[in-house]
Amino acid sequence: MPRVICLVLVALLYASCAKGTSQNPVFPAGVSPTPLPQPPYVGLGRYYKLAEMTMPASFGGIPFVSFIEVRQSPDSTVVQPDFGGFVYAQKGPHGIYWNDGEKRRTWDEGTADWVNPEVSHVNLTPSETIWDLVTFRSIAQRTTAPPLTGGRTVYSSPDLAPASAGTLLVHQLALITMDPGGRTSAHSHGGTEVFYVISGTVELALNNGTRTNVTAGQGASIRPGLIMQLHVVGGEAVRILTYFVTPEGEPWQTNLQTVP
């Protein structure tokens, strides 16, 4: 019996040390925390993929990403501008109506979906709702008027790497949550990541030597191929809304057994 116990302990230790490779989930240790020590490149947190959409790039040239927050009053309607994007229902349910008046759909608080133009956002609840529109657009639209009634741009990325018109791009929206002491895995992306911190503060560490604190109400962008890792700073839990745009065929994420 002692021999069996020893073999089980060795197997558990090996499984712990093997985490953090490209074959493992983004935050393997955070889903089921374990008392065994975790290497510093292994993530301690949760990753929730909210929505994904693959489509050809609708324009050539230089893009940017913006996070637009809308506080919508009860029994009101907001018309979608002439571009699409992900809508994340941050507080309260979210409903849209197609402008032909024949179709509608809703989703719950904490979930998201892609929304095309030619729809209206309708709040039929007795309370204010809060939702975010995350868009990928040409920099030619940076100076246009505020795109949504009642909306404010909480973060706009700098200019991003261009994609040729017609290139298939995989768009993904996700939510990252981490408790104090949490961190993401050390990793790189085959495309661009742009994130916005809803609550808490993180340190963004990159393998170019930079260390930057990003706190609630701020955002950051990471270009393809950079090795990165986020660490929670302070005693407040963190919630991050994050957006990826990856050319089809490129690896979405590669976890690494090193730290930036």
Query: What pTM did the predictor assign?
Result: 0.84
Region of 234 please: left (phi>0), alpha (psi -120 to 50) or beta: left
**Residue whose C-alpha is closest to residue 200's, from 222, 183, 185:** 183
The residues, any chain, with a CB within 8 Å of residue 107's CB and separated by 6 or more, are: 89, 93, 94, 113
Encode pLDDT of 67-90 as tens digits: 999 999 999 999 888 888 999 999
Residue 237: per-residue pLDDT: 96
Q: C-alpha angle with apex 113: 110 to 114, nearest 5 degrees?
A: 150
Encode pLDDT of 125-165 as tens digits: 999 999 999 999 999 888 776 678 788 999 999 999 887 77
Predicted confidence band at 169 (pLDDT cuts at 50, 70, 90)? very high
Q: What is the largest CA-CA distance in the chain?
A: 73
Give yes or no for a contact between 84 and 133, defined as CB atoms under 8 angstroms apart: no
Predicted confidence band at 166 (pLDDT cuts at 50, 70, 90)? confident
Residue 34: per-residue pLDDT: 52
Distance in angstroms (rounded) separating the CA atoms of residues 189 and 51: 18
Residue 70: per-residue pLDDT: 94
Residue 21: per-residue pLDDT: 38
Residue 117: per-residue pLDDT: 85
